[in-house]
Amino acid sequence: MAIDRSLYPDGYFDTLHKTTVFAAPARKWIERDRDILSLVAPKPDQTVLDLGSARGDVCFLLAPHCRQVIGLDASPRAVEIAEEERERRGLENVRFLPGDVEDCSPIPDGS
């Protein structure tokens, strides 16, 4: 099945998660991060796959806890934004790939 690029136009990801302290208090992000780490329970020798990675927030959270994180998203703009942030943070164990969760062929076997 082909990716329907009209679902998430480029501008969607440019404005995603731009919040104020009133809309998203720090407690919200602390609890979210705690819950993600508890659920995923990443280990230093693991590769973690984030399907629908959007701007990469979860990938960046997981990066210090595992060998490699691969983010897959159908939006080229989301992948571009995530890759720019990855470079800004200097993370070598994170990468982002364009693709749809229905077809994970961009992910190398054995990841």
List alpha helices for 43-102, DSSP H.
57-62, 76-89
> Per-residue pLDDT for the chain (111 aa), expressed as one digit of tens each?
556 667 666 666 666 655 555 566 788 888 989 999 999 999 999 999 999 999 999 999 999 999 999 999 988 899 999 999 999 999 999 999 998 888 777 777 765
Nearest to 68 by CA among 33, 37, 41, 92: 92
Q: pLDDT at position 99, please?
A: 87
Report the C-alpha gap between 47 and 94 in whole angstroms: 10
**CA distances from residue 54 to 8, 32, 49, 59, 95 in whole angstroms, order as listed:** 10, 16, 13, 10, 12
**What is the pTM (predicted TM-score) of this model?**
0.78
Report the C-alpha gap between 59 and 84 in whole angstroms: 13
